[in-house]
Chain A
Amino acid sequence: MTHTISETLQGNRKLAFIARNWAAFFLLGFLILFSFTGKGFLSITNFQNVGHLAVIAILMASAETFVIITSGIDLSVGFVMGFASVTAGKIIQVLYAAGEGLSPGISIGIGIVIVLILSLIPGLVSGVLIARYKVPPFIATMGMWGITNGIALKICKGFPVATLPDALTRIGNGYLIYFKPGEGLSFFGLPPGVGNESIREYIRLIPNSFIFVALVLLVLWHLLRNTTFGQHTYAIGGNEEAAVRAGIDVKRHLIKIYVLSSFIAGLAGIFNIFQTGIGNFTPFGAMYELFAVAAVVIGGASLMGGKGRIFGSVIGVFLIAFLENGLLISGVVPFYRFIAVGLLLIIAVVIDQLFPDLL
C-alpha cells in the first residue's frame, strides 16, 4: 500500500483542518492584528461597512466559484454588472421620469425584471461558445467582457444614469434594526416622526444588504452542495470524460453554469443601483473579475477545477476586504493592498500544490 498525502493527513486531522481553512485563520489573525493597530477598526459600524461594501465582491466571487469548479473562468462578470446597472438605471429613469411617470415601486420592479432577464444573455452566449464550439472560456468570456462594456457605455453615453427614485438608496443602504437606548426601536427605517438629521444617534444593525446577500448565498450554497446540479458541476471539473460517460449532458450543464454566473453578475448590477442610487458603468480599472478569481482561489478552489466552496470564496472576499480596510484604518498607504492580495494568492496556490487532496 502506498501512502498518499491524504492518508498522512488522516493521521493528522488537525493539520488537515488548518490547511483546508488557512484563509479563515489568516482572516482571524488579521482581525486581531488590525484591532490593535487601527483605531475604530473593531466596531460594529466598521464591520457592517466592510460587509456592505463587500456585497458586490461576494456575489462576483460566488458566481466565479461555480465557473472555476468546472475548470473554467468568467472574465465578463464585472462588465455584465455594469451593463445591468446602467440598463436598469435607464429603464427606471425613463419609467419614473423624475416623478412625472410611474410610481417608484413599479418603475424599479419593471427595471429589475427586464434586466435580470437580459443578464442571462451574455452567459448564454459565452456558454454556447464554450460548450458547443469549444472556444476556451478565457476567450469566450473576454469577448463578452468587451461587448457588455461597450453596450453599457453606449446606453449611458459614458455618464452614470441619475435622477432615479430615492427609494433605491433608502432600501439599499437601509438597516433592519434602528435602535436608540431609552427612545425606541424600529425596523426598516427610523421611527415615524424622527428626522433624518438624527440618524447618527441611532444604533443601526443588520444592513438590508446583508439579508439580501445572505439569501443569495444560501440558495447558491444549497445548489452547489445539496443538489444534482452541484454534483455534476464538481464531476465536470474533476473528470469531464467521466461526467460524459456517466450520462451527464456536459454541454448543457456548462451553458447553465455560465448563464448562472452572468445572472449573478446581473444581480450585482441591480444591487449596485440600490447601493449608489445611480446606474453605474464599470470602470476599466475596477478589475472585479480578477479580485473575484483571487478570492475564489484564496478560498480553496483550484483553477484546475473540481474544487471550491461558496463558504471558502466568501472567506476569500472578506480576507481581501478586511485587509484593505484594516491597512487603511491603520494608516498604511492603500497600494500595499495589491501586494498583500498577491502574496495571499501565492500562498493559496502553494497550499493547493502541497495538499492536492484537500477539498
Chain B
Amino acid sequence: MDYLVETKNITKRFGGLTAVNKVSFGVEAGEIVAVLGDNGAGKSTLIKMISGVHQPDGGQIFFQGKEVDIHSPMDALSMGIETIYQDLALAENMNVYSNIFLGREKTKKAWGIFDVLDSQYMYDESLGVLDKLNIKIPSLRNNVRTLSGGQRQAVAISRSIYWNAKFLIMDEPTAALGVAQQHLVLDLVKSLKDHGLGIIIISHQMHDVFAVADRLIVMRRGEKVGDLKKEETNPDEVVNLIVGSESVV
C-alpha cells in the first residue's frame, strides 16, 4: 500500500523525556486519519515533526514514497504539507481574497512599468476555489474579522487547497466553534477527501473523530497504542485505549 505520508520508528526526545517513541504510521491520499490521546501523549509532537516545527531524533519520514528531511515549516509548505492552525493564521484586518493570496500576491503591470496588485484576478480565483469546495462567504471583499469562526476555518482551508496542498494537518479544527459551524467545517473536511488530499486531524472530540475519520491512531505516553479502522471500533474502545486500560496494535 502506498502512503502519501509515512513515518517509520520516528522518535523525539526533549532532554530525558521521550515525547514520541518509535512511532510508525501512514496516511493515504484521500484518507482522513485522526490522532487521539490524552494531554502529553505525544500527539502534538508527532504532528509537529511532520509540519517541520520539530526535527526528529530518530526514524524516517516519507512523503510520496521518498524519504524527506523537513527542517522548517517552510520546507513542509513547499512540499505541499500545510498545517491549519487553531489561531488560523489569517490577517483579520484584510479581506478574504487578500488572505488567500497573502505572501503570494498576483500583480500586473500598470502602464507597462509599475507592478500593481491584480485584485480582480485574486478575487475571481478565490471565488473559484471557494465554489469548488462549496463554501459560502457573504462577500470576498469583507474583512476576515467580519466572518464567523467556521467561515474563517473554511477560508484557511481553501487557501491551502488553492496553493496545491497535498497533505493537511488540522489541530483541533472544531475547537471554539458553535454546533452549526462545526458541521460546516466537518463537511468541508470530508469533501476534501474527494480532492485526493491526505488529512491528519488532532481532536479531543470523539464525535468529530467518528464523524469524519477513516482511521484512528491512539497515542499514549509517546507510543502508538492503537491503529484502528473506524468501522472496526467504537468510542468505548478508543477511550479505553486513551486512558490505558487496553492495548491493540
Contacts and interface: CB of A to CB of B under 8 A. Distances in A.
A239 B91 CA distance: 5
B148 A1 contact: yes
A154 to B, nearest CB: 41
A86 to B, nearest CB: 35
Interface string B211-246: 000000000000000000000000000000000000
Interface string A202-225: 000000000000000000001000
B143 A6 contact: yes
Given A239-B91, A306-B93, A231 B143 contact: no
Given A235-B102, A247-B104, A357-B146, A242 B117 contact: no
Interface string B75-93: 0010000000101111111
B146 A7 contact: yes
B145 A2 contact: no
Count class of interface residues, chain A: 20 to 34
A226 interface: yes
A343 to B, nearest CB: 27
B191 interface: no
A290 to B, nearest CB: 25
A7 B146 CA distance: 7
A353 interface: no
Contacts of B104: 246-247
Interface in A226-261: 226-228, 230-232, 234-235, 237-239, 241-243, 245-248
Nearest to B149: A2
B114 interface: yes
B176 to A, nearest CB: 13
A246 B74 contact: no
Contacts of A357: 143, 145-146
Given A7-B146, A222-B114, A228-B117, A234 B103 contact: no
B38 interface: no
Given A1-B148, A231-B98, A246-B103, A239 B89 contact: yes
A196 interface: no
Contacts of B146: 4, 6-7, 357
A243 B102 contact: yes
Contacts of B105: 228, 231
B90 A239 contact: yes
A231 B117 CA distance: 9
A235 B92 CA distance: 8
Nearest to B115: A227
A359 interface: yes
A20 interface: no
Contact of A234 (B88, B89, B94, B110): B94
Interface string A1-21: 110101100000000000000
A307 interface: yes
A245 B89 contact: yes
Contacts of B142: 6
B116 A247 contact: no
A239 B92 contact: yes
Given A228-B117, A235-B94, A245-B73, A359 B89 contact: no
B145 A247 contact: no
20 contacts: A1-B180, A6-B142, A6-B146, A226-B110, A226-B116, A227-B107, A227-B115, A228-B105, A231-B94, A235-B91, A237-B93, A239-B91, A241-B87, A241-B89, A243-B102, A245-B89, A246-B102, A246-B103, A247-B103, A357-B145
Interface of B: 73-74, 77, 85, 87-94, 98, 102-105, 107, 110, 114-117, 142-143, 145-146, 148, 180
Interface of A: 1-2, 4, 6-7, 222, 226-228, 230-232, 234-235, 237-239, 241-243, 245-248, 306-307, 356-357, 359
The 3 tightest CB contacts between A and B, nearest first, are: A246-B103, A238-B93, A306-B93
Given A1-B148, A228-B107, A231-B105, 20 more contacts: A1-B180, A6-B143, A6-B145, A6-B146, A226-B117, A227-B114, A228-B117, A231-B117, A234-B94, A235-B103, A237-B93, A238-B92, A238-B93, A241-B89, A242-B88, A245-B85, A245-B89, A248-B102, A356-B145, A359-B143
